């Protein structure tokens, strides 16, 4: 028995691996729940009922899924170009800061206000990502480190704003900004679901089209496949890197605006709720596929909603995190299954060598 490298992973296998990883994550997570003295089946029933069992559940799940979809795209899109954007958290935060600034200090008339806020968030996210793209393009600095550190700067900058100049003086003991005007709220689709989720779906649709159907998408894949090919074809790598990074930052920034205008109504430290980091996991779960990001974001949203419901039933919320972590672990193992296969006997392995060498 030996491992062989696959020439090409089939599409069906590409779908099977994440599904099996999620199921295994739930199964092993169930063992952990059992150790905690709760019936895992009951716990999972509670979890799924909370996330999908009612209209309220669906609304909550989709509300969670919307920002995750955007931050997931913000990782998956540059990953196609071989770039790692770990800065979704910071880009989302800066998006929310910019949108708040428009709402509090540049009160545009009528419907221009929400549109202006969205645009400001879009631009702020892009700028925050470009801060990482420029040193990479010129000095070759690692974008992972730069985007990661920019997260801390963004979060602390927001902390300064809500504790200081933008703070709500009436809320003693709580650090959050003054509320944005009501007319800046996103329209609601349902009692507790804003159109933010539609914006996220639309962005995913456009991104999917660009990536899979347009010349620009093909260029992205070429850049992602290595500098030799790109140089050979004369592609402007630095400019494309900047566009890719800026675009992905803009998408993450949009998530900040959607949170602000659809959920929190004010700038507050918890506004990102780790969506930036979870987006990395969503993109990973999706193996950089756009459809995968949409599905993965909904699954993650459900886990968050379900986890909160479990907490109400006496199981710690952390169980949901355990299930998430297990899922990722199984997924990483599953990646090996995508690249290799197990062959029985020595003949098959030798055959592969022969095919390569003959």
Partner 1 sequence: MVAGKAPSAPAAVEALGVTKVFNGRPANLDVYFHAFAGEIHTVLGENGAGKSTLTSMLAGVYRPDSGEVRVRGRKIAFHSPRDALRAGVGVVYQEFHLVENLTVLENALLGTGMRPWGRKRDAVGDQARQAGFDLPLSAPVRLLNIGHRQQVEILKLLLRDPDVLIFDEPTAVLGEAQVGELFATLDRLRRRGKAIVLITHRLREVRMVADRLTVLREGRTTAAGRRPAEFTDAALTELMVGPGTGAPARTREPAAMGEIVLRLVGVHLSSRSGSGLRGVDLAVAAGELVGVAGVRGNGQREIAEVAAGLAPPGRGRVEHAGGDVSFIPEDRLGMGLCRRMTIGQNLALRCYRKPPIGRPWQIDRAALQSLAERQIARYGIPARADRIVTQLSGGGLQRVVVARELDQRARLIVAAQPTRGLDIRSAEFVRRRLVEAAERGVGVLVISEDLDELMAMTDRIVVLYEGCVAADVPRSDFDRQYLGTLMLGARNDRHAS
In terms of CB distance, is 54 or 214 closer to partner 1? 214
Among 1, 7, 138, 139, binds partner 1 (CB under 8 A): 7
In terms of CB distance, is 145 or 353 closer to partner 1? 353
Q: Does 1 bind partner 1 (CB under 8 A)?
A: no
In terms of CB distance, is 32 or 348 closer to partner 1? 348
Measured over the CA atoms of residue 169, residue 172, residue 175 and residue 179, the dihedral's sign is: negative
Q: How many CB atoms lie within 10 A of CB 35?
A: 9
Dihedral of the alpha carbons of 157, 159, 165, 166, in degrees to the nearest 10: 110
| Phi, psi (degrees; rounded to nearest 5) at 137 | -65, -40
Distance in Å, CB of 248 to partner 1, minimum: 20
Torsion-angle region of 186 (φ positive above 0: left; ψ -120 to 50: alpha; else: beta): beta
Q: Using alpha carbons only, how large is the chain's radius of gyration in Å?
A: 22
Whose CA is closest to 166, among 101, 112, 213?
101
Distance CA 71, CA 68 (A): 5
In terms of CB distance, is 112 or 218 closer to partner 1? 218
Residues 198-257 that bind partner 1 (CB under 8 A): 209, 213-215, 217-219, 221-222, 225-226, 228-229, 231-233
Distance in Å, CB of 358 to partner 1, minimum: 5
With a CB cutoff of 8 Å and minimum separation 6, the contacts of 295 are: 286
Q: Compose the 328-357 pattern: x for residues touching partner 1 by CB under 8 A, - for all others.
A: ------------------xx--xx-xxx-x
Q: Enumerate binding residues for partner 1 (CB under 8 A).
A: 7-8, 209, 213-215, 217-219, 221-222, 225-226, 228-229, 231-233, 346-347, 350-351, 353-355, 357-358
């Amino acid at each position: 028995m030996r491992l062989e490298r696959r020439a090409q992973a089939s599409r069906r296998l590409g779908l099977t691996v994440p599904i099996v990883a999620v199921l295994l994550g739930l199964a092993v997570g169930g063992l952990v729940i059992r150790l905690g003295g709760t019936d895992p089946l009951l716990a999972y029933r509670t979890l799924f009922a909370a996330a999908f069992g009612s209209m309220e559940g669906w609304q909550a799940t989709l509300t969670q899924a919307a920002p995750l979809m955007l931050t997931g795209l913000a990782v998956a899109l540059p990953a196609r170009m071989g770039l790692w954007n770990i800065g979704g958290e910071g880009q989302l935060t800066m998006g929310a800061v910019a949108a708040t600034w428009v709402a509090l200090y540049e009160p545009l008339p009528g419907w221009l206000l929400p549109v202006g806020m969205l645009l400001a968030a879009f631009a702020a996210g892009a700028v925050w990502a470009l801060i990482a793209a420029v040193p990479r393009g010129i000095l070759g600095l690692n974008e992972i480190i730069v985007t990661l550190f920019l997260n801390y700067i963004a979060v602390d900058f927001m902390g300064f704003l809500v504790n200081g100049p933008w703070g709500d003086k009436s809320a003693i003991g709580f650090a959050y900004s003054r509320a944005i005007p009501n007319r800046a709220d996103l329209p609601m689709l349902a009692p507790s679901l804003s159109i933010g989720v539609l914006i996220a779906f639309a962005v995913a649709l456009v991104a999917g089209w660009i990536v899979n159907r347009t010349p620009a998408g093909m260029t992205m894949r070429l850049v992602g496949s290595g500098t030799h090919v790109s140089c050979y074809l004369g592609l402007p790598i630095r400019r494309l890197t900047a566009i890719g990074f800026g675009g992905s930052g803009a998408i993450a920034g949009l998530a900040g605006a959607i949170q602000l205008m659809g959920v929190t109504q004010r700038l507050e430290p918890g506004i990102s709720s780790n969506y930036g980091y979870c987006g990395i996991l969503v993109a990973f779960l999706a193996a950089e596929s756009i459809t995968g990001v949409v599905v993965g974001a909904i699954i993650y949203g459900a886990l968050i909603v379900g986890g909160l419901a479990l907490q109400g039933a006496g199981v710690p919320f952390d169980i949901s995190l355990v299930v998430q972590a297990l899922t990722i672990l199984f997924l990483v193992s599953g990646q090996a299954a995508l690249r290799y296969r197990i062959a029985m006997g020595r003949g098959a392995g030798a055959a592969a060598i022969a095919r390569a060498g003959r």
